[in-house]
Amino acid sequence: MSTTRPIRLLRLTRARTFAHGALAAGVGLLIAFVVFLVATLGAWITVDTHRALVTAIGTSDSAELVLETRVGSDSAAQDEAAASVIHGALGPNVLVTREPVGSDGELVQYVVTPDAATLTPAAVTRIAAGITSLEDRFRTSTAAVGGLTVSGGLAATMADAGAGAVSSAAISPIPLAIIAVLGWFAVMELSRAWGRARARETSLLTARGMSRGQKAALTTGEMLLITLAASVIGFAAAFTVTWLRAGTAAPAAIASGLPLTITAVVVLAVTAGTSVARAAESEAQVSARAARFTQVASVGALALIVFSAVLAVWQLFATRDTPVDAPWRVALSSLAPILSLIAAALIAVLISAPLARAVAAVAGTRPGLSPTLPARNVARRLPAYATAVALVVITVSGAVFAGSYVATWEKASGSAAALSAGAEVRVQSGFVSPADLREANELGTAAAVYAVDVVVGEIDAGLVAISQDRLADVVIGIPGLVAPAALAQTVATDSVALELPPNATELEFTVTAEGVEQPVYTSSAQIWVADDSGVASLVTVTFSDAEETSRQPDPNDGFYGDLVVTTLTGTATLPAGVTSILSVGLTAVDGGRYDGTIVTFTAPKLSAIADDETVPIDFQPATPSMILGGSVRAGTSSPYGVLWSTRAAAPVVPIVVSQSFATELSLTVGDTVDLRVDGTGRSFSAQVAAIVEAIPGVASARGVLLSLDAAVQAAVPVGTFRDAPTTPPAPNEIWLAGVDPAEAADALGADVSVPTDVAAVITGGLITTWWIAPVGAALLASIALIAMLASLTATRAGEVLILRAVGVAPRAQARMRIVEAATVVTTATLLGALAGWGMSALTVPLLVSAAVPGSRQLTLAMNPVIIGAVIGIIAVAFVISAVVIAGMVRKHATSTRIAEAAE
């Protein structure tokens, strides 16, 4: 029968395929599984990244940009121009809302927010880049009328989101690359097993005159049909699973990874066809090529690949301070781990040869066939086992890498979010009164916080002043980075405030005033008090009782008024919960109304009323007398004075600074520095008590921490002043521990934030992929391992009859074969674990630092669940292989012909 006619070729193709239907179905299902994994993971990366972007930007309290200007004469044209400028700068993935401002409607705000439904990493990157030029473009357009005011934190939020998106895109190819490499191995090995199974029929076809081209056409047609069918199954399964997870977003998600999936299908089809065709050739040719992997792993190839891997890792280290979106750094984030995986596999294959020979030499000193024969067989047949070694090494090292990345990312993202937030719940109220703090303390442990930006020269930093008695209770501790108890001890200072008696409810103040009559009656006392959390309040004492003690008539016939000496007495109610007095001050006349007049104050006395008893409070004024007033027109008016304050007696304020801030200012422990609060006249003279890696609650690398109690006591100066003297810093936040955020928001009526890192949330979208990829890779490696060990057992059928002839029972032979395979798999697993740990130690901290920009002092962590799951899958695959090996050895032992046994 001729085999050259097309109809005959089609029938022959079908007959050849169904002759080994199990193997053909196995190859097809394996291709379908690889296509399913690649398509699903690619789609899930897209879905998870989009969800992470929406979550990260949605959890930000400042993800908007407000452009405020005057309303133009043609509001419709102005709106159109504004939308054109905004979309031109930021792209179509933003929403623009027009909001009138003011009762008269003279102003208009254009509020820009990201469109959550269409956000992609590319869109985030464009928005982040366009914001920098939007203000200038809007200001020069017709949309801006009479100036422009810009507010909102969208720029910072999108910058963080853009960094996370870039980092996510840089590391996403790594799990896909592991899947692709192991899928290629698995398809190649199972296809070779199929090819060996049809070696005899291939020889018969050659003998009947079929040319190489006709045989290639048969194999190509076969593989084309199988690959198409498998691809349809894989795509359908991937689409179904993605639809169940993402709903209507599934088609777009699948389409986003279509180029990669099609490439994988083509590579798998070519691999399967080539492997089947080559493995179907003569046994001599197959054996000659059995060592090809070892030949590839020659010294020259190894040197080239290892050099490339080392260069990539070194460059990754060298570029760690460059922006995460720099193209070269993005490329290195993918190349360094992938090249390291390949280099690890080649090194393992090379060192396994001398290792196997050493084990064989040791085993050879022991009597008996076992373990001598298995050890020698492994050493002698190592080229045949090279693929198994490479498979297991790549799988295990990839699992260790994935486990370390997941664990390190989780640890770093939690630490970065906790470091940035400072506390479990952070309430931004703008102003914290003692009543607010009391209400917060009813919810849980609360501390008042003064969070501002400070400037030293041209260097700015974030300052956090927190109640020293509550610091250790509310600040989140981060092992190796933030030790709340140690920080509290470092910044703590002894109080120099005037202590109020328990249950004090009122203050009474008496002072002698000398001056013209009318101004005397308009004087008042200004007394700053504080509670035990450092929250200050102003108590104003109005002099309700004025007892005249002497009077000197005005020699100018009453033009200025008589000179009067009066004892002024007044009382004021104390706020609830106050425990100390920070300063005692006075105000005199309104100089604009009583020009040129002065008042001299002497003999101040202060008392507290507690439990209906008057308790004197002793203090020493800075001067025996204080002159207030003067000429406003002449510029000599000083209507404000402070008789006594804690600032005069307070020691130098101890501060803790971050390493970055200390480095930029060349600060060391013991140095003094003046901190100026940005945008105010307030300043602190402080001494560096400690230098740490980072300050809790400060998002930037430059931070300062001090006690709110010390900051309050160092605020009010002593002396006379033309303008109101510096007041104690008013806390603007409350930090809480052990409180539900929603409950805190409802109770306190303020914005609440919890530990969140925008960039970390985005890169965290890939964590699911890092869990799935190692498991899928292990399944692929297991299929390839079973097929490879079965094929190797089949090629050694003749050994069974020879060993049986010298008295070695089939069961003992099967046991020795299993020992061989166990030795190879166990050694490869150990080498893979070692290689994965080394690769992780070198690259994971750098990759995670890019994925979590707010991380500090990264330490490598491991997720044992991922590693254990992968090793468990390989162990199950080995058990299945052992059962297959034992069955094949029994079959070979009962055969009467080596050729039949080999089948």
Q: Where are the domains of the chain?
A: 6-52+168-292+299-416+761-902, 64-152, 423-496+651-754, 498-646
Model confidence pLDDT, tens digit, residues 737-777 = 888 877 877 777 776 666 555 555 555 556 777 788 888 88
Q: Is the confidence at residue 128, as pLDDT, over 60?
A: yes
Model confidence pLDDT, tens digit, residues 194-229 = 776 666 666 666 666 666 666 666 777 777 888 888
pLDDT at 872: 92
In the structure, what pLDDT confidence band is assigned to residue 876 with cuts at 50, 70 and 90?
very high
Q: Is the confidence at residue 473, as pLDDT, over 80?
A: yes
Worst-scoring range by mean pLDDT, 381-385, 453-457, 482-486, 611-615? 381-385
58-89 burial, b for 16+ CB within 10 Å, e for fewer? eebeebbbbbbbebbeeeeebbebbbebbeeb
Closest CA to 787 of 246, 194, 290: 194
Distance CA 489, CA 689 (A): 10
Asked if 831 and 351 touch (Cβ cutoff 8 Å), the reply is yes
pLDDT at 656: 92
Question: Which neighbouring-strand residues pair with 514?
Answer: 565, 600
Please report, rounded to a whole number, the percentage of residues in the chain having pLDDT higher than 90. Answer: 3
End-to-end CA distance of the chain: 26
What is the residue type of 711?
Answer: A
Question: Which neighbouring-strand residues pair with 736?
Answer: 425, 446
- Average pLDDT value over all residues in the chain: 77
Q: Is the confidence at residue 695, as pLDDT, over 50?
A: yes
Q: Is the confidence at residue 718, as pLDDT, over 70?
A: yes
Q: Is the confidence at residue 296, as pLDDT, over 50?
A: no
Q: Is the confidence at residue 61, as pLDDT, over 60?
A: no
Asked if the 498-646 domain carries CATH number 2.60.60, the reply is: yes
- H/E stretch holding 614 reads strand 613-617
Q: Do domains 64-152 and 498-646 have the same CATH topology?
A: no
Q: Which residue has the higher pLDDT, 599 or 575?
A: 575
In the structure, what pLDDT confidence band is assigned to residue 634 with cuts at 50, 70 and 90?
very low
pLDDT at 591: 44
pLDDT at 363: 58
DSSP string for residues in 801-817: HHHHHTT--HHHHHHHH
What residues contact 832, with CB distance under 8 A and at least 6 apart? Answer: 344, 348, 392, 393, 394, 395, 396, 397, 400
pLDDT at 623: 79
Q: Which tokens in the block code for residue 855?
A: 């991380």
CATH level 2 (architecture), domain 64-152? 2-Layer Sandwich (3.30)
In the structure, what pLDDT confidence band is assigned to residue 294 with cuts at 50, 70 and 90?
very low
Distance CA 783, CA 774 (A): 14
Mean pLDDT in residue range 821-846: 86
Supply the Cα-derived Rg of the chain in whole angstroms.
40
300, exposed or middle or buried, with CB in 10 Å at 0-12, 13-18, 19+? exposed
Please report, rounded to a whole number, the percentage of residues in the chain having pLDDT higher than 70. Answer: 75
Q: Which tokens in the block code for residue 709?
A: 């109690």
192, exposed or middle or buried, with CB in 10 Å at 0-12, 13-18, 19+? buried
pLDDT at 647: 82
Q: Which tokens in the block code for residue 160?
A: 């963080």
Distance CA 414, CA 757 (A): 8
Mean pLDDT in residue range 648-656: 80
Assign 3-class secondary structure to 574-597: CCCCEEEEEEEEEECCCCCCCCCE
Q: Is the confidence at residue 602, as pLDDT, over 50?
A: yes
Asked if 346 and 297 touch (Cβ cutoff 8 Å), the reply is yes
Nearest-10 crossing angle of helices 6-19, 21-59 = 80
Model confidence pLDDT, tens digit, residues 803-825 = 776 667 777 777 777 887 888 88
What is the tally of helices (H) and strands (E) in the chain? 30, 24
